[in-house]
Amino acid sequence: MAVPLSTHAEPSDVAPERDLETLEIDLLLEAIFRRYGLDFREYAPASLKRRLYRRMQAEGLETLSQLQDRLLHHPPTMEQLLVDLSINVTAMFRDPSFYVAVREKVVPLLHTYPFTRIWCAGCSTGEEVYSLAILLHEEGLYDRTRIYATDINELVIQSAREGVFPLDRMKQYTQNYIKAGGKGDFSGYYTAAYDNAVFSRSLTENVVFAQHNLAMDRSFNEFNMIVCRNVMIYFDKTLQDRVHGLFHESLATFGILALGHKESINFTRFADRYEEIDAGERIYRKVA
């Protein structure tokens, strides 16, 4: 760590240290952008910094400048960092009340369409995709739905596509599923194999997994629903605004936008383009 252990440092000594750290981070992000074309310069700084330091320590390095050196000369380290930056720690049916609201307030709307396209943006390892697929299946919508599941990182998409999750999480997921209004037997959706739960291939029949970078890539279709939960909390306000622009542009009129429990559309330029379907669950509908 670049942090001196002295507890007696005067403010005049420590300000340059923080400045130095900021400089190192800025240079590192610039280096990644120019070397790999991946832009993390508008990610929310506090969490980004923690993730960079975690990678630095995992590599056994002392400073972010050393990490920069390794990232530039050793692409596998960049792959690792990309995993660090794109893994979104989540669970199947995380926030069960969200799924209850989708069943009660969104499903009836989707039933009015002959065909529904849903974008699961920033799907990470796929927990949310499988949760949605199960819900749509139980609500009789799956056969006329296509889910587009995208993430910045090809490796986590591969993992999502495989649909293999640790068996020891199934107890929690089952509880979530029941609270989320599940209508069947959760264990019917997977097969236990050693320490893993392998989810049914039928759940991904109508899912298209694809690499997409929210910070840099454009819209690729028109959707009836976009689900993007706890992904934009890692972006700064400028990038959040831009991604909200991308979503707004990608939604059909009356399309649904679902955000995380603690993500408010009110802090964006698009607040007045949506009406609330469920304020507490942060489910909105595009009206303009």
Partner 1 sequence: MYELIAIGTSWGGLDAVSRLLDGLHEDVHQPIVVAQHRSVESEEGGLARLLAAHTRRIVTDPDDKTLLEPDHVYLAPPDYHVLVEDGHVALSTDAPVLYARPSIDVLFESVADAYGRHAVGIVLTGANSDGARGLARIKDLGGVAIVQDPATSERRTMPDAAIAATHADAVLPLEEIPLFLYGLCA
Cβ proximity to partner 1, 175 vs 221, nearer residue:
175
Q: How far is the CB of 184 from partner 1 (least distance, A)?
A: 24
Cβ proximity to partner 1, 4 vs 75, nearer residue:
4
Residue 38 has which token pair?
């991946």
User: For residue 119, what are the CA distances in angstroms to 32, 106, 126, 128?
Assistant: 28, 15, 12, 11
Q: How far is the CB of 42 from partner 1 (least distance, A)?
A: 13
Largest CA distance in the chain: 68
Q: How far is the CB of 139 from partner 1 (least distance, A)?
A: 25
Q: How far is the CB of 85 from partner 1 (least distance, A)?
A: 11
Cβ proximity to partner 1, 6 vs 112, nearer residue:
6
User: For residue 59, what are the CA distances in angstroms to 62, 66, 78, 80, 86?
Assistant: 9, 10, 11, 10, 18
Cβ proximity to partner 1, 87 vs 107, nearer residue:
87
Q: How far is the CB of 197 from partner 1 (least distance, A)?
A: 20
Cβ proximity to partner 1, 3 vs 193, nearer residue:
3
Cβ proximity to partner 1, 223 vs 235, nearer residue:
235
Q: How far is the CB of 60 from partner 1 (least distance, A)?
A: 20
Q: How far is the CB of 161 from partner 1 (least distance, A)?
A: 22
Would you tell me which residues interact with partner 1 (CB under 8 A)?
3-11, 14-15, 17-18, 21, 44-47, 49-51, 88-90, 230, 232-234, 237, 240, 260-264, 267, 280
Cβ proximity to partner 1, 2 vs 193, nearer residue:
2
**Chain Cα centroid distance, residue 140:** 26
Task: Name the nearest CA neighbour of 173 among 199, 151, 147.
Answer: 199
Q: How far is the CB of 56 from partner 1 (least distance, A)?
A: 15
Cβ proximity to partner 1, 17 vs 104, nearer residue:
17
